[in-house]
Amino acid sequence: MSSIVNKIIKRVRKAYHSLLLSPIEVWVFHAVTPTFNPAFCLPEDWNSTLDFERTVKKLKKKYTIISLEEAYQKLRKDLFRFKRYAVLTCDDGFKSTLAILPFLASEGVPITLFINPKYLDGVSFRGNYTAHPEYINESDLKGIDSPLVTIGMHGFEHIDCSEQSAAEFRDSATACIKTLETHPRFVPFFAYPWGKYSAATQQVLMELNITPVLCDGASNYRYHNGISRKCIEASRTDLAPGGLV
């Protein structure tokens, strides 16, 4: 009997979602540069500037693009949602991200940048790159004052949060807040590096009143334990021979 009831509930929920509660799609970008440079980004995390601009324009035709904050409120409060909404986010805080902000401003499109505060000094990062990638520094961050841009957390440094103890993760999240909370565009959203997390990290964020932002490829209908995101597939056009720099 319980299996029959569960099937009915699932069908009713599916009908409700399809007819009365449109999903909010949240998209994540990483590196956006005119040409691909393997010294500073990975192929799977890269979009060409041209591809990025074309993608945003296509999304605008299909969705109303809103801020992550507005989406969060809608996911918590909306009983009915007929309009199609989308949100743009960008992880890692590469310095090249600053170059896409004027285009977004001209299109009136908001975006949330998730950064790692440890790298604001411009020298702390050491990763699996052939050269040192350039990150947004303290001066760059202070210069971001557009109402279309919000600043979120991507961990104090870019490490696998699921491997941290609750105490270690709490220290990292607290350090993020301490560094970023004075910025006028700061929002208490935490995007997990590589989308990796645990029950312990989720509990810590809940205790600190921070909203988890995942990268699990799902759509958002209502808010539960985090905001789901999807990756925009990277353009491969500039990866052809002669496209590398």
pLDDT for 80-135, tens place per residue?
999 999 999 999 999 999 999 999 999 999 999 999 999 998 777 766 555 556 88
Helix-helix angle 199-207:166-180, to 10 degrees: 40
What mean pLDDT comes out for the span 22-40? 90
Domains of the chain in sequence order: 19-239 (3.20.20.370)
pLDDT of residue 13: 62
For residue range 167-208, what is the model confidence (pLDDT) as tens digits? 999 999 999 999 999 999 999 999 999 999 999 999 999 999
How many CB atoms sit inside 10 A of residue 40's CB?
Answer: 19
Q: Which residues pair with 220 in a beta bridge?
A: 24
For residue 114, give the nearest of 141, 85, 74, 86 by alpha carbon.
Answer: 141
How does pLDDT run across 55-71, given as a tens digit for each residue?
999 999 999 999 999 99
